């Protein structure tokens, strides 16, 4: 049965055709929207009733998620009354987190469900960045235009399924992360402590931690780009062979909550596999060509292509990726960004020399180079100028 | 038979005085010449209480003075032959300049009483004679009138004092200045530098000094020329000493210059300094002026003063040559281009870089060559014989001035000033400025007039003043009319701008609304693409998707531009990013029009001064649509190149295309309102708004608003049009302020 989301639009002038059109791109066999529910700001008698309405509505229809489509054009009085997407999301989170007696509980008045925000405002992410507490209420934030391309349908579906898992009465960390005891015990000790301590919290708090702190950052888990980089592989050039290789490494894939929307691998397990199979070789200080030779030999793969350094980069001893281009990178050929990591298990984020020069030290709203790197960049530019002139 | 002789009526003296010496100024200058002829080193003129007629003029010199004999046989004898007999002065061997026998009449012309005191170095006492000119009235025998000579104690070692009392005219400061200028004409100025003085072999100098005494105050009257030279923007000075090595110095406070160099004689191949073969004891000093460009002057010079100097230059500029203290004609006369400056540089000086003709220079060249070893005057006394020394001299001067000119032109301050001027030339004065100038002129005229009344006691205004007043009023009238025209033109401009601005708002709203549609399109297309469609429908869906993506690039670019513009916040713009963004946006459109769009950046961190991000969208889209049309007209594979680089404090952006180019006659005007550069084209290129002729004007307005420049420049090879923008770079403070 398809998962059903409630879609809330705050634009009363939107006619059905536009919304239907938009949702038709997200609807799949797996995901459905209870058509849509047009947000009526005020009732006939001028009284605001949406909160109670919404509570009943969610319960009655057993919605498995809410997609807010928000124009963010709230007036100051609306903000004061909490009549905004943030206010509403806050309300929902509250009624989930607290039972009638006002005690924080893992199982609230209604079932915990994912809340996703989307908007046609071009700068939605920047706006939400400024409002951290607001942003934290949502499991994911999209610009409406990018949803189709970003496969938001898969994400929405995955979020719901993940929440179901988290909502289970007998919560088990091992099954949430789908890892075995040994592997879990080998993970960063602080991570272990932190996630354990969340086990009595509402599902959305665990979800937030897994999405934001585990999946979003490279470290314990790595994504496809970084996996390829560390194996020295050029994904595009290798084509189908890469897909084959990924299959070979399927065992090390993250299979915990949200895995179907966010493809990740346990780095610890890959690392262990590497050291078992190539005991005398440090992959980090091995050239991409050799890495690819070793891996190809191991799995009898033909046509696996080594990645080349980006322009203005020399080393192919890749160990990270360029944040701007997602291409393999050796730290030495890049600059640290100002994107701060909050936990020790999260890798620092770098951009390549090329990206730093192409984007002149940053992309608005995405990244900038770290202030600690500013002087080095200056020197680097001076060096290039003198070489080029 | 009775012999009769002519008798002379005493009235003759008066007649002679008035007829031989028509103007009072001539009278004074004759008296100065007399001092010069008497080998004086200085002559002092003191105009005492001369604001009204009846004042006193005292002329004191340190010349040879007169013995009693000389006084009686010379001064007191009309039509004496001394100057005819002795054309050269005894001590300094000066060619006597005064006209024969005019001196005494000059004093008569000037005042009613003359008290003359004179002494020679050898004399034990001074001689004093008092002449009451009123005694020479008609019907009196001339010889019956006599004057007592007294012997009085010596006033000083030598020299003559003429005390002319009861002056017939009033002498205002202006008149005194005029006469000063008039008299200093013929004599080598003393304001060649001290080095020049030391080059001279003897102490042969001559300097008239003018004073004006009012009440107890005695004020020195400054030499107009010296006054003027204080305003010079640069001086170039040089000399060749006895070691025959040439030096040149250029100094300018305004342009922060003070440099000295050695000037080599002709023929140095290896940059080494060659000394001159013949030339020695040469000194020159030139004062450099640029007219009509007040921007070039330190602390600002008034336009009026600069114009006065320009008028003055009409007669007095040029490089004058003095040999052993005397002007050698015709060097430095108006129209005498003996160093070929005008021929060489005046074309260039027209406006382009640095004007450097004879009119721009007040120059004095001193040759000390007592024995005439190096330079000889021609038999006709028309200059010097063209010998090797003269060739060397010309070469030395030419090289020195060339060097000095280069230094001035190369100085940063000069270039800054030039830029300011060039800009002002383009802008012209604004109407309020013009009015302000007129008001200032009337004001200063008023001051002049009231000053004139104070000084002269008469309320009549001079013809000059009257003319100036009339001219000024005429200009005021003209300007008033031009204000009206200006306002009308601006209203016309504004009306069009209002239409466009209104349209802009509608478009902004519209573009924003368009954003609402894109998720719906996206969703629908995505849904369709996931269905099991037949091949044809699949293709249609795919095409639809592509077209939609192109459409989306446009709308999101404009939505971004507009939403940023609404914030009205300026920020330093990374021009490389702005160009990248722009190219990304137009790429699909350019591709479908078969236009290749390339970019070429030099350097990093090309940040412009804080601007609206959307302004660059306007600029680039304007250029792009013009380029598209130009390329369309030649019907070829189009290409566009956008470059960006920095040049000191500027960011320079060039937009080139290989279209049909811009006709030269329109290049100057193309940035004005309502001038369209496009010929009528078919509709498929989209004439649209860009055909209003306002596009480039808006571009210019944007760029100008930030003190930038936009103009048609030279395209790179393979391109036919190049529009260049120069815009100030973001300063360090600006970058810091905006957190870059």
Given the structure tokens 């003996």, which residue do they identify?
Answer: B338
Contact criterion met (CB < 8 Å) for B519 and A381: no
Chain mean position to CA B671:
29
Residues of A with Cβ-Cβ distance to B735 under 8 angstroms: none
Assigned token pair, A54: 């919404």
Among A66-75, A85-94, B105-114, B147-156, the least confident range = A66-75
Which secondary-structure segment (H or E) carries A267? helix A267-277
Give contacts of B518 with chain A, Cβ < 8 Å. Answer: 120, 144-145
Judging contacts by C-beta atoms under 8 Å, the chain B residues touching residue A145 are 515, 518-519, 522, 552, 556
Give the tokens for residue A139: 């499991």
Cβ <8 Å between A20 and B559: no
pLDDT, tens only, A317-335: 999 999 999 999 999 999 9
The CA distance from A24 to the nearest CA of chain B, in Å, is: 5
Q: Contacts of residue A384 in chain B, CB cutoff 8 Å? A: 604
Residue A104 in tokens: 């924080």
According to the model, what pLDDT value does residue A15 have?
Answer: 65
pLDDT of residue A132: 65
Q: Looking at CA atoms only, how far is residue B740 from chain A in angstroms?
A: 9
Rounded to a whole number of angstroms, the distance from the CA of A385 to the nearest CA of chain B is 7
- Give the pLDDT confidence of A204-234 residue by residue, as tens digits: 999 999 999 999 999 999 999 999 999 999 9
Residue whose token pair is 């003018």 = B210
Nearest chain A Cα distance for residue B571, angstroms: 13
The CA-CA-CA angle for residues B702, B705, B709, to 5°, reads 75
For residue A379 the two structure tokens come to 């020197």
- What pLDDT, on the 0 to 100 scale, is given for residue B595? 92
Which one-letter DSSP state was computed for residue A308? P
To the nearest whole Å, the CA of B520 is away from the closest chain A CA by 4
Q: Write out A44-74 in H/E/C secondary structure.
A: CCCCCCHHHHHHHHHHHHCCCCEEEECCCCC
pTM: predicted TM-score of the whole model, two decimal places: 0.54
Residues of chain A found within 8 Å of residue B523, distances taken between Cβ atoms: 21-26, 148
pLDDT in tens, A352-384: 999 998 887 778 778 889 989 989 998 998 888
A169 vs A106: CA distance, rounded Å? 9
Task: Give every residue of chain B whose pLDDT is below 70, as ranges.
Answer: 79-85, 93, 95-101, 181-204, 223-227, 268-271, 298-300, 325-326, 345-353, 379-382, 422-430, 452, 454-461, 564-568, 668, 673-693, 740
Q: Which residues on A lie below 8 Å from B604 (Cβ)?
A: 357, 360, 381, 384-385
pLDDT at B567: 59
Other residues' Cβ atoms within 10 Å of the Cβ of residue A314 = 11
* B522 contact A CB<8A: yes
Biggest alpha carbon–alpha carbon distance for chain A: 77
DSSP string covering B328-352: ETTTTSTT--TT-HHHHHHHHHTTT
Within 132-161 of A, beta carbons closer than 8 Å to B belong to 144-145, 147-148
3-state secondary structure of A11: coil
Establish if A120 touches chain B: CB-CB under 8 angstroms: yes
CB B362 within 8 A of CB B234: no
Residue of B619, B687, B630 whose CA lies nearest to B661: B630
- The answer to whether residue A105 scores a pLDDT higher than 60 is no
Interface of A with B in 200-239 (CB under 8 A): none
Distance CA B533, CA B531 (A): 6
Q: Which residues pair with A142 in a beta bridge?
A: A118
As a residue count, chain B comes to: 740
Cα dist. A219→A109, A319, A341, B153 in Å? 36, 12, 10, 115
Q: Phi and psi at residue A301, in whole multiples of 5°?
A: -95, 140
CB contact under 8 A, B518 and A381: no
Residue A154 structure tokens: 């898969």
Chain B hits for A19, Cβ within 8 Å: 520
Contact A134, A74 (CB under 8 A): no
Half-sphere exposure of B300 (CA within 13 A, CB side): 3
| A389 Cα to chain B: minimum distance (Å) | 10
A17, A25, A360: residue with CB nearest B527: A25
Which residue out of B528, B567, B604, B738 would a mutagenesis test of the A interface target, given it has the greatest number of A Cβ atoms within 10 Å? B604
What pLDDT is attached to residue A335?
94
To test the contact with chain B by mutation, choose from A24, A68, A378 the residue with the greatest count of B C-beta atoms within 10 A, namely: A24
The pLDDT mean for chain A works out to 84
CB contact under 8 A, B604 and A357: yes
B515 touches chain A (CB under 8 A): yes
pLDDT at B300 (0 to 100): 65
Which of A122, A147, A148 comes nearest B563 by C-beta? A122
Preferred mutation among B508, B515, B517, B520 to probe A, highest tally of A CBs within 10 A: B520
Answer whether B522 sits within 8 Å of A145, measured CB to CB.
Answer: yes
Least confident of A4-8, A245-249, B228-232, B544-548: B228-232
Contact B574 A360 (CB under 8 A): yes
Q: Is B532 on the interface with A (CB under 8 A)?
A: no
Cα A271 from chain centroid?
23
Instruction: Supply φ then ψ for residue A20, to 5 degrees.
Output: -60, -45
Q: Is B622 left (phi over 0), alpha (psi -120 to 50) or beta?
A: alpha
Cβ of B515 within 8 Å of Cβ of A120? The answer is yes
C-alpha–C-alpha distance, residues B126 and B120, integer Å: 8
- For residues B657 and B719, the answer to whether their CB atoms sit within 8 Å is yes
pLDDT at residue B686, rounded to an integer: 43
Per CB-CB distance under 8 Å, the chain B contacts of A23 are 523
Nearest residue on chain B to A387, alpha-carbon basis: B603
From chain A, pick out residues whose CB is under 8 angstroms from the CB of B560: 122
Chain position carrying tokens 């030290």 = A361
CB contact under 8 A, A385 and B604: yes
């Amino acid at each position: 049965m398809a998962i059903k989301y409630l879609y809330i639009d705050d634009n009363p002038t939107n006619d059905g055709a536009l919304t239907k059109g938009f949702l038709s791109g997200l609807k799949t066999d797996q995901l459905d929207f209870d058509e849509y529910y047009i947000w009526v700001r005020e009732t006939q008698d001028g009284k605001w009733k949406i909160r109670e309405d919404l509570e009943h509505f969610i319960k009655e229809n057993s919605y498995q998620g809410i997609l807010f489509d928000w124009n963010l054009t709230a007036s100051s009085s609306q903000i004061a009354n909490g009549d905004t997407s943030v206010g509403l999301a806050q309300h929902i989170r509250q009624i989930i987190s607290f039972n009638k007696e006002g005690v924080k509980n893992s199982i609230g008045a209604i079932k915990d469900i994912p809340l996703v925000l989307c908007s046609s405002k071009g700068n939605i992410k920047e706006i939400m960045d400024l409002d951290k507490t607001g942003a934290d209420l949502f499991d994911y934030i999209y610009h409406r235009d990018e949803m189709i391309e970003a496969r938001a349908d898969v994400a929405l579906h995955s979020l719901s399924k993940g929440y179901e898992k988290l909502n289970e009465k007998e919560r088990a960390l091992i099954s949430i992360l789908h890892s075995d005891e040994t592997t879990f015990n080998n993970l960063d000790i602080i991570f272990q402590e932190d996630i354990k301590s969340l086990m009595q919290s509402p599902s959305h708090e665990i979800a937030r931690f897994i999405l934001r702190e585990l999946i979003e950052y490279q470290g314990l888990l790595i994504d496809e780009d970084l996996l390829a980089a560390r194996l020295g592989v050029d994904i595009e050039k290798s084509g189908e062979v890469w897909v084959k290789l990924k299959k070979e490494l399927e065992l090390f894939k993250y299979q915990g909550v949200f895995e179907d929307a966010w493809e990740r691998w346990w780095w610890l397990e890959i690392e262990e596999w590497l050291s078992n199979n190539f005991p005398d070789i440090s992959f980090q200080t091995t050239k991409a060509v050799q890495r690819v030779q070793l891996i190809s030999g191991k799995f009898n793969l033909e046509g696996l292509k080594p990645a080349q350094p980006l322009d203005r980069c020399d080393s192919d001893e890749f160990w990270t990726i360029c944040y701007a281009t997602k291409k393999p990178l050796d730290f030495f050929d890049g600059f640290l960004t100002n994107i701060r990591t909050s936990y020790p298990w999260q890798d620092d984020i770098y951009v390549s020399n090329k990206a730093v020069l192409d984007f002149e030290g940053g992309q608005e709203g995405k990244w900038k180079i770290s202030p600690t790197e500013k002087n080095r960049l200056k020197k680097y530019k001076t060096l290039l100028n003198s070489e080029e002139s | 038979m009775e012999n009769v002789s002519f008798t002379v009526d005493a009235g003759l003296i008066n007649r002679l005085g008035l007829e031989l010496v028509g103007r009072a100024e001539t009278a004074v200058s004759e008296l100065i010449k007399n001092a010069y002829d008497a080998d004086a080193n200085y002559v002092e003129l003191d105009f005492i209480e001369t604001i009204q007629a009846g004042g006193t003029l005292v002329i004191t010199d340190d010349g040879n003075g007169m013995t009693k004999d000389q006084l009686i046989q010379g001064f007191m004898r009309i039509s004496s032959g001394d100057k005819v007999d002795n054309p050269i002065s005894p001590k300094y061997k000066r060619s006597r300049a005064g006209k024969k026998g005019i001196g005494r009449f000059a004093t008569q012309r000037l005042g009613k009483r003359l008290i003359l005191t004179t002494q020679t170095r050898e004399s034990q006492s001074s001689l004093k004679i008092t002449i009451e000119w009123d005694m020479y009235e008609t019907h009196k025998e001339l010889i019956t009138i006599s004057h007592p000579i007294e012997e009085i104690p010596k006033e000083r070692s030598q020299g003559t004092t003429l005390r002319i009392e009861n002056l017939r005219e009033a002498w205002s400061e202006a008149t005194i200045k005029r006469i000063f200028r008039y008299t200093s004409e013929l004599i080598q100025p003393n304001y060649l530098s001290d080095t020049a003085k030391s080059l001279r072999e003897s102490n042969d100098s001559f300097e008239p000094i003018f004073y004006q005494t009012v009440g107890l105050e005695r004020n020195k009257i400054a030499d107009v020329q010296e006054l003027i030279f204080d305003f010079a923007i640069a001086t170039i000075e040089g000399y060749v000493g006895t070691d025959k090595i040439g030096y040149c110095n250029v100094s300018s406070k305004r342009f922060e210059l003070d440099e000295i160099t050695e000037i080599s004689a002709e023929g140095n191949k290896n940059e080494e300094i060659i000394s001159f073969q013949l030339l020695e004891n040469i000194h020159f000093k030139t004062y450099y002026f640029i007219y009509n460009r007040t921007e070039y002057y330190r602390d600002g010079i008034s336009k009026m003063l600069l114009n006065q100097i320009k008028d003055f230059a009409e007669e007095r500029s040029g490089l004058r040559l003095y040999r052993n203290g005397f002007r050698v004609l015709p060097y430095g006369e108006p129209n005498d281009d003996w160093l070929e400056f005008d021929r060489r540089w005046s074309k260039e000086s027209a406006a382009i870089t640095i004007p450097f003709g004879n009119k721009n220079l007040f120059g004095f060249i001193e040759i000390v060559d007592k024995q005439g070893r190096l330079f000889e005057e021609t038999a006709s006394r028309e200059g010097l014989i063209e010998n090797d020394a003269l060739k060397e001299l010309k070469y030395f001067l030419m090289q020195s001035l060339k060097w000095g000119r280069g230094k001035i032109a190369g100085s940063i301050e000069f270039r800054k000033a030039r830029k300011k001027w060039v800009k002002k030339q383009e802008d012209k004065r604004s109407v309020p400025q013009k009015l302000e100038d007129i008001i200032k002129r009337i004001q200063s005229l008023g001051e002049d007039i009231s000053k004139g009344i104070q000084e002269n006691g008469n309320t009549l205004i001079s013809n000059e003043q009257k003319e100036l007043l009339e001219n000024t009023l005429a200009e005021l009238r003209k300007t008033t009319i031009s204000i009206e025209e200006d306002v009308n033109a601006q209203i016309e401009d504004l009306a069009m701008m209002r239409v466009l601005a209104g349209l802009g708002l509608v478009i902004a709203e519209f573009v924003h609304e368009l954003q609402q549609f894109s998720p719906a399109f996206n969703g629908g297309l995505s849904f369709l693409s996931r269905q099991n469609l037949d091949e044809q429908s699949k293709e249609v869906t795919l095409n639809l998707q592509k077209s939609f993506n192109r459409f989306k690039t446009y709308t999101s670019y404009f939505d971004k531009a507009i939403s940023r513009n609404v914030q009205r916040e300026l920020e330093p713009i990374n021009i490389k990013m702005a160009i990248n963004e722009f190219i990304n946006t137009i790429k699909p459109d350019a591709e479908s029009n078969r236009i290749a769009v390339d970019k070429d950046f030099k350097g990093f961190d090309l940040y412009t001064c804080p601007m609206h991000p959307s302004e660059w969208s306007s600029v680039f889209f304007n250029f792009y649509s013009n380029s598209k049309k130009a390329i369309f007209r030649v019907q070829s594979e189009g290409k566009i190149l956008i470059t960006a680089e920095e040049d000191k404090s500027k960011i320079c952006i060039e937009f080139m295309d290989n279209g049909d180019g811009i006709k030269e006659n329109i290049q100057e005007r193309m940035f004005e309102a309502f001038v369209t550069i496009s010929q009528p084209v078919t509709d498929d290129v989209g004439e649209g708004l860009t055909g209003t002729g306002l596009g480039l004007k808006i571009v210019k307005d944007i760029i100008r608003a930030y003190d930038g420049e936009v103009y048609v420049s030279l395209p790179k090879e393979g391109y036919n049009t190049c529009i260049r923008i120069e815009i100030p770079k973001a300063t360090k403070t600006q970058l810091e302020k905006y957190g870059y």
